[in-house]
Amino acid sequence: MPRIPLLPEHPADPQAAALFDEVRHARGPDFPMPHLYRVLATAPAMFRGWLDFAWPLRQNAHTPRPLRELLILRGAQISGTAYEWAHHVPMALEAGVSQAQIDALGQWPTSPLFDAPQRAVLQLADEVTRGPAASHATVQQLKQSGFDDPAVVELVLTASFYVCVGRFLQSMDIELEPGYDALLSSMSTGDAPPTAHPPSAPVH
């Protein structure tokens, strides 16, 4: 059970109810409210801030969505955040990430399935998630892989935000909704050791 009780799908608090209505307006009237949102909306002002940050980060960024989904999944894998992993596997597949790449994330430094930009982004995910920060070498590797300064900001911010997401999910002990367990089978596929500098690879 989560450490903060889940709000009902239609909460009595008018602020929380209005935020849920906003989510349903964006996602569809029958959208089942995720457990994460049902905990966040316990503090409506904080949930408002979450939506105002998380949604533009997802929808308004200019870096390719598949790259960002790989980054998010790798962060979830490192931190062991099952909820985040299960929710982002469908998003990654919809964005064009292959199941083979998802299955290979745990061994990405030696896998032939990732090109140079993807490897730079996965190195970023490793360093930011493990902390304390991305290295100078990794930021340079991102630039050498074709990412300009705004793109680097987007990627580092995305990696950092999803560290926050994982910490919150685990601190609140938020459980997966029914039906998501099957998506966890590809999460624990072995883990690559931390690398001191970004590995180089040819672009496929």
Tens of pLDDT, residues 88-132 = 999 999 999 999 999 999 999 999 999 999 999 999 999 999 999
Average pLDDT in the chain: 91
CA distance 96 to 118: 13
- Whether the predicted model's global pTM rises above the 0.85 cut: yes
pLDDT at 191: 61
User: Rounded distance, CA 119 to CA 124, Å?
Assistant: 9
Question: Does pLDDT of 204 surpass 60?
Answer: no
Residue with the two structure tokens 């409506």: 44
* Residue 10 · residue 17 · CB < 8 Å: yes
